[in-house]
Copies of this chain bind each other. A is one copy, B any other.
Amino acid sequence: MVEQRLDTTFQALADPTRRGMLANLALGEKSIGELAEPFEMSFAGASKHVKVLEQAGLIARRKQGRTHVISLEARPLEEAERWLRQWEKFWSVRLDRLQALIESDKEEGK
């Protein structure tokens, strides 16, 4: 269950255009057109990216007249971060070991 959510979340985050859109949305709500503009991309192209983000639950869409207003929905990111944080202890141990190595080299150098 959670596994599959991670699939779609990480998949959505793997594209720089989509990460850019998220960054843009962090500054406030945007229309599809506004999201497309910085990337010199067709409307339809942007629309597809937005759909991917939507299906990953990373954004919410609200229709306002003829424009769609997109807003950030960061909750799934939290899940991804929790997953990544599992590894924190692992890599911190690694860095400690590296540090120790450096120290012992210094000792030898004396």
Q: Report how many copies the assembly holds.
A: 2
Determine the distance from Cα of A96 to Cα of B54 in the docked complex, in whole angstroms: 22
Closest B residue, CB atoms, query A23? B86
For window 40-86 of A, CB contacts with B under 8 Å fall at 72-75, 77-78, 80-81, 84-85
Q: Tell me if A's interface is mostly helix, strand, loop or mixed.
A: helix
Residue A6 is within 8 A (CB to CB) of chain B in the complex: yes
Is the interface on chain A under 10, 10 to 19, 20 to 34, or 35 or more residues? 20 to 34
- State the Cβ distance, A14 to closest chain B Cβ, in Å: 4
Contacts of A7 in B (CB 8 A): 14-16
Residue A107 is within 8 A (CB to CB) of chain B in the complex: no
Residue A39 is within 8 A (CB to CB) of chain B in the complex: no
